[in-house]
Structure 1
Amino acid sequence: MALVCEFLDRCGGCVDITLESKINLASNLLDIRDFQVFKSMESNFRARAELGIYHNGDKISYTMHGVKERFVKIKNCQNLLPNIQKTLPVLLNILNSLEFNTFKMRLFSLEILANQNNALLLTLIYHRKLEESWLLDARKLQTSLKEILGFHFEIIGRSRGVKLVVEDDYLVESLEVSGKKFYYRYDEGAFTQPNVAINQKMITWVLEHLKHGGDLLEMYCGCGNFTIPLSFNFDKILATEISKISINALRFACEKNQIKNIHFARLSGAECIEALNKTRKFNRLKGIDLNTFNFGSVFVDPPRSGLGVEACEFLKHFKQIIYISCNPQTLAQDLEILKQTHCIKHIAFFDQFPHTKHLESGVILEKI
């Protein structure tokens, strides 16, 4: 196991590791042999990108982190969704025109988020403090991009302590899951699943394999990626998340999808445990009576650091545990604790990040 962990740590994000190799490493690490695998497309799969900007005189180029060189100039990236790939060269040509010379000065980096409906959110990040006058050129850029590409663009400018927004600072995304369409709000700077097709497969897999009924506790709910579809399978859901932006996005999704059985609170994982164990009271839970919930299931999608001992001990009280993990190493550590009281009923690997070491896992456990 130590050799597997060491190899995973040494493999950088730019190393093109095959899916078969990742699956072998993860299955050995987790000591499992019976699992499902969901492959991603080899290209045109990623819905967001972060690009550096290289200045050469009055011209700019896109850059990305290289393996040997610190930065590598690029023209495009085949991993990105087609609407982002179409946008990048057009955007660069416009910015390199004389009309936008001042606009691009001190431009440091570019972040792009796209949805499946050809709407894109561009965040331009500057070294120099932005003034309100920046918005005039940003609106011109928005108009030019739409005229050439026919896409809808939201444009944001950022510098230290300043955020300027042309219209909105979010996109509305729709996902098709099990014959139903769900709507989400994806905010600038907030976490969203980058591989849309695999994300839909993950949600579908969870819905097909979990046991329905009763109430659900969801920790680390984000913008409601899983919460919204899961609401049709449980009587009530208590969803918790530390990010205020994500909680606001979940509120938007509940209203947009007309869902009324989700109760949400801005709590960290540790705070959620304190609240449910009644060791601490939170004003953020005002209006939510925890005594009315009859939790039989818990859903967790923690960060790469995993759950840890305290959270795993807390999860042991639930009949059903649904665990989505982005790190096989910390998942293996958590499962060593959870398997003391629960058995693995279903497990799957999802290739969210082709050509990298990263692998998403889904595990459903039931109490022994």
Structure 2
Amino acid sequence: MPLSTFDPERYHELLAAKSGRVQGLLAPFGGPAAEIVASPSSGFRMRAEFRLWHDGDDLDYVMFRRGEPATPVPIKHFPIACEHIQQLMPRLLASLRDDSELRRKLFQVEFLSTLAGDTLVTLVYHRRLEEAWRARATALATDLGIALVGRSRKQKEVIGRDFVTERLHIGDRDYHYRQYEQAFTQPNAKVNVRMIEWACRAAAPLGGDLLELYCGNGNFTLPLARHFGQVIATELAKTSIRAAQWNLEANNVDNVQMIRLAAEEVTQAINGERVFRRLAGLPKPLAEYRLNTVFVDPPRAGLDPATTSMVRRFPTILYVSCNPETLAANLSELSQTHRVAALSLFDQFPYTDHMECGVLLQRFD
């Protein structure tokens, strides 16, 4: 997001315009009026990434305007970041400026924080990290009260831990989520809570069992699980699977089977086209689950044609999309068998054209 677009005084005006565009795009598929979920107008991002610009012994966070990759723009204040990151940025930069070992050939800094205040910093280098770096990095992490990771080509050095633990209050309980550095997490935690609450409200009356594709670290899986008998949750990324397994155990969720499969492989298994050893660990054969509902949160490319065809078999589809254009393309197919029963728009990315959408689809009787 270009900082030049940051304008809190016009936030609701900008949101209304963006929501109108998305509703117009999705209008051909019918359904009730969309619920619009706003974001805080500042301090909403739990992740941030900057290049480091060296000028002698001086150092600055910088970003680059689109089309101007050789012109750094110093970042003195980053108001869209959460309070923990905003407070940490100047302290970290001052410490790096004063430490030649930590500063040498450092070219990128990544921040990951949580509503609970747990924060991790990743320092990325164009050199190998030796013991002298580890000693200085350990002192820095202790001084700032953070976890820290150093990265260079084919090297990862962990000071303390390489994850943070988020705490989200959903419904009547808190859920704890382990989030690893450089793995996908929802960037706007407060809007994420509203998205999960929406999904749980939609799921509450459904019953049966749930199939979830693209489950990530279990962001939706954990709260949704209480509304279904059994859940089969699938994900391909190993780091996300590792986080999800920890999250399930830490939150005492015992009715979820986590399977490492891509969406295309799940489609093949549902269609009976392939037998996967990874499904052999299920308590019972896949065909014996009462899979009446499918939950999908695909990448920006949306659902591929085979997966779109597969999910049309389910009486209920819960679809969370980060790309209204590919959502519209998928709905052109899904609307042939299902009606839009509910639509919500979530402003995960204020001051941009991006909008997160939640759609509840029910198969025609």
Q: Given the two structures, how large is their TM-score scaled by the length of structure 1?
A: 0.92
Pair 1:260–1:312, CA change in 2 (3 A): same
Residue number in structure 2 paired with 1:331: 327
Letter matched to residue 109 of structure 2: L
- Does residue 1:106 correspond to 2:105, yes or no? yes
* Length, aligned pairs only: 350
Matches within 5 A, 1:71-150: 71-97=72-98, 100-146=99-145
8 A contact 1:12–1:357 mirrored in 2: no
- Give, in whole Å, the separation in 2 of the partners of 1:283 and 1:168: 32
8 A Cα contact 2:231 2:256, kept in partner: yes
Q: 1:12 to 1:51 in 2, by over 3 A?
A: closer
Q: Does 1:317 align with 2:316?
A: no
Partner AA of 1:163 in structure 2: K
Letter in 2 for 1:350: F
Could you say if the C-alpha distance between residues 293 and 14 of structure 1 is closer, same or farther in structure 2, counting changes exceeding 3 Å?
A: farther
Aligned residues: CA RMSD: 1.6
Identify the residue that residue 227 of structure 1 maps to in structure 2: 221
2:278, 2:135 → 1: CA distance? 40
Instruction: Compute the displacement of 1:15 (Å).
Output: 5.0
Does the 8 Å contact 2:164/2:180 carry over to 1? yes
Alpha-carbon distance, 1:294 to partner = 1.3
CA distance in 1, matches of 2:18, 2:3: 13
CA contact 1:14–1:66 (8 Å) conserved in 2:
no
Does residue 183 of structure 1 match 2:176? yes
Q: Please name the residue that 1:170 is paired with.
A: 163
Structure 2, unaligned runs of 5 or more? none
Q: Secondary structure at the match of 1:223?
A: coil
Asked if 2 retains the 8 angstrom alpha-carbon contact of 1:13 and 1:356, the reply is: no
Partner of 2:147: 154
- Please identify, of 273-282 and 253-262, the stretch whose mean Cα deviation from structure 2 is larger: 273-282
* Paired residue type of 1:233: H
**Pairwise CA distance, 1:214:** 0.3
Query: Which deviates more from structure 2 when the two are superposed, residues 183-192 or residues 201-210?
Result: 201-210
- Which residue number corresponds to residue 63 of structure 1? 62
Letter in 2 for 1:244: K
Counterpart residue type for residue 302 of structure 2 = G
Identity of aligned residues (%): 39
Equivalence for 1:304: 300
Q: Is the 8 A contact 2:101 2:136 kept in 1?
A: no
1:349 aligns with 2:345: yes
Indicate how the Cα distance of structure 1 residues 313 and 12 shifts in structure 2: closer, same or farther if over 3 A, else same: farther
User: Structure 1, residues 264-308: CA drift from partner, whole Å, max 9, x if none?
Assistant: 111111011111222112222231131331100000000000003
Asked if residue 256 in structure 1 is aligned to residue 257 in structure 2, the reply is: no
Kindly provide the CA deviation profile for residues 215-266 of structure 1, in whole angstroms up to 9, marking residues without a partner as x: 0000000000000000100000000011011111110011000111000111
How far apart are the structure 1 equivalents of 2:269 and 2:132?
Answer: 47
Partner of 2:270: 276
Give the match for residue 285 of structure 1.
279
Distance 2:280 2:57 in 1: 55
Whether the 8 Å CA contact 1:40–1:354 is kept in 2: the answer is: yes
| Counterpart-to-counterpart distance in 2, 1:12 and 1:168 | 31
1:200 aligns with 2:201: no
Of 287-296 and 87-96, the range deviating more from structure 2: 287-296
Contact 1:157-1:165 at 8 Å conserved across structures: yes
| Contact map agreement 1:316 1:341 (CA 8 A) in 2 | yes
Shift in CA distance, 195/315, structure 1 to aligned 2, threshold 3 Å: same
Distance 1:280 1:216 in 2: 21
Equivalent residue of 1:139, what SS? helix
SS at match of 2:140: helix
Q: Which runs of 4+ in 1 moved over 4 A?
A: 11-17
> Is this contact kept in 1: 2:78–2:86, CA < 8 A?
yes
Return 5+ residue gaps in structure 1 as ranges: 1-10, 147-152
> Letter of the aligned partner of 1:347 in structure 2?
L
The 8 Å contact of residues 125 and 157 in structure 1, kept in 2 or not, is answered as yes
Matched residue SS, 1:40? coil
The question of 1:215 aligning with 2:230 is answered no
Q: Distance in 2 between matches of 1:160 and 1:272?
A: 34
| Equivalent pair of 1:47/1:113 in contact (CA under 8 Å) | yes
Contact 2:165 2:178 in 1 (8 A): yes
* Maintained 8 Å contact 2:43/2:80: yes
Which moves more between the two structures, 345-354 or 71-80? 71-80
Partner-residue secondary structure (3-state), 1:202: helix
Q: Distance in 1 between matches of 2:101 and 2:120?
A: 21
Aligned partners of 1:134, 1:212: CA distance in 2, in Å?
54
Q: Which amino acid aligns with 2:335?
A: K
CA distance in 2 between partners of 1:227 and 1:144 (Å): 36
**In structure 2, distance between residues paired with 1:126 and 1:197:** 32
Once the two structures are TM-superposed, the CA of residue 14 in structure 1 deviates from its matched residue by 6.8
| Letter in structure 2 aligned against 1:144 | D
For residue 358 of structure 1, the aligned residue among 330, 354, 358 is 354
For 2:144, the aligned partner's letter is: L
